């Protein structure tokens, strides 16, 4: 304040310096999260991991302020590493989040999420996976859309009011992964099984056999008139003999 009295108030220069430092720090943390995700994804072995469960948190003031990563992500180490990196970036941003950088930082987060989506598509196009490995990879892709993406949006919303909506509006960034899941699910649809009771007609033209035995009864009834016709002449002969 003393310098301001003599026309040397430099407080107006400080916001831009803080904003530049915050932006550089956040961008660096996001780049680290993406690099770690890529490293873990490239070296990841697709084997099923045990399901890890934790007791549900009680909804209260602490749970509303603190955002804990979903335990489901522990089944997918590449996503867990990425979300941990995003959480670290948010923890450093939260104490000093310049309001003027709200949209700029939102774009940085969206860019990081898009990088993960593109990396998953590239991995699917360049790697040959077995059937069981492909199932685990698709499960990771589904967890990215349904768990990791909303969680990152929620974390950003804790730093900026309305920040979660800015991230959720960028759902088009994972359209490619969504199409991959749709195509894979359509390929895995089971073939329809014919549970009908009719069997195919044999080559000699006989009637189809039905498992419940209805036709067999009808055939038995149809054969009775022939038996009656065969016995009727004998009865007439007996009457003549008498």
For residue 192, is it within any domain?
no
Across 219-233, average pLDDT: 48
| Per-residue confidence band for 26, with pLDDT thresholds at 50, 70 and 90 | very high
Query: Does residue 190 carry a pLDDT above 60?
Result: no
**Domains contained in the chain, number:** 2
Question: 228 lies in a domain?
Answer: yes
Domain check: are 210 and 101 in the same one?
Answer: no
Q: Is the residue at 22 inside a domain?
A: yes
Residue 72: its pLDDT value, please?
87
Decide if pLDDT at 28 tops 60: yes
Q: How far apart are the first and last CA of the chain?
A: 146
How far apart CA 139 and CA 130 sit, in angstroms, is 14
The encoded tokens of residue 3 equal: 């310098």
210: β partners: 198
Average pLDDT, the chain: 79
Q: φ and ψ at 198, to 5 degrees?
A: -80, 140
* Co-location of 176 and 209 in the same domain: no
Query: Do residues 176 and 121 touch, judged by C-beta distance below 8 A?
Result: yes
Coil, strand or helix: which one is 67? coil
Its domain, for residue 214, covers 199-242
Residue whose entry in the numeric block shows the structure tokens 């730093």: 159
Question: 115 with 217, same domain?
Answer: no
Please indicate, yes or no, if residue 1 is contained in any of the structural domains: no
**Residue 205 included in any domain:** yes
Residue 131 lies in a domain: yes
Flag whether the pTM goes above 0.85: no
User: Same domain, yes or no, for 141 and 234?
Assistant: no
Q: What is the dihedral sign for C-alpha 16, 87, 105, 79?
A: positive
Q: What is the pLDDT of residue 239?
A: 45
The pLDDT, as a whole number, for residue 9 is 67
Same domain, 183 and 205: no
Confidence band of 68 (pLDDT split at 50, 70, 90)? confident
| pLDDT of 86 higher than 90 | yes
Q: Is the distance from CB of 8 to CB of 61 less than 8 angstroms? A: no
């Amino acid at each position: 304040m003393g310098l301001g009295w003599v026309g040397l108030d430099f407080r107006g220069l400080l916001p831009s310096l803080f904003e530049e430092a915050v932006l550089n720090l956040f961008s660096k943390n996001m780049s680290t999260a993406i690099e770690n995700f890529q490293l873990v994804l490239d070296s990841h072995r697709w084997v099923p991991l045990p399901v890890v469960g934790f007791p549900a948190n009680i909804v209260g003031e602490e749970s509303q302020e603190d955002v804990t990563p979903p335990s489901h992500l522990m089944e997918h180490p590449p996503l867990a590493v990425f979300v941990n990196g995003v959480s670290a970036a948010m923890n450093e941003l939260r104490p000093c989040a310049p309001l003027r950088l709200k949209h700029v930082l939102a774009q940085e987060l969206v860019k990081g999420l898009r990088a993960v989506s593109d990396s998953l598509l590239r991995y699917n196009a360049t790697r040959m996976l077995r059937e069981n490995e492909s199932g685990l990879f698709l499960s990771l892709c589904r967890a990215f859309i349904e768990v990791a993406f909303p969680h990152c949006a929620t974390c950003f919303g804790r730093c900026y009011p309305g920040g979660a909506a800015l991230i959720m509006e960028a759902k088009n960034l994972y359209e490619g992964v969504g199409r991959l899941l749709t195509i894979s699910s359509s390929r895995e649809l089971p073939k329809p099984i014919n549970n009908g009771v009719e069997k195919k007609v044999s080559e000699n033209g006989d009637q189809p056999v039905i498992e419940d035995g209805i036709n067999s009864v009808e055939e038995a009834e149809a054969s009775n008139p022939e038996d009656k016709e065969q016995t009727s002449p004998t009865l007439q002969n007996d009457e003549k003999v008498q």
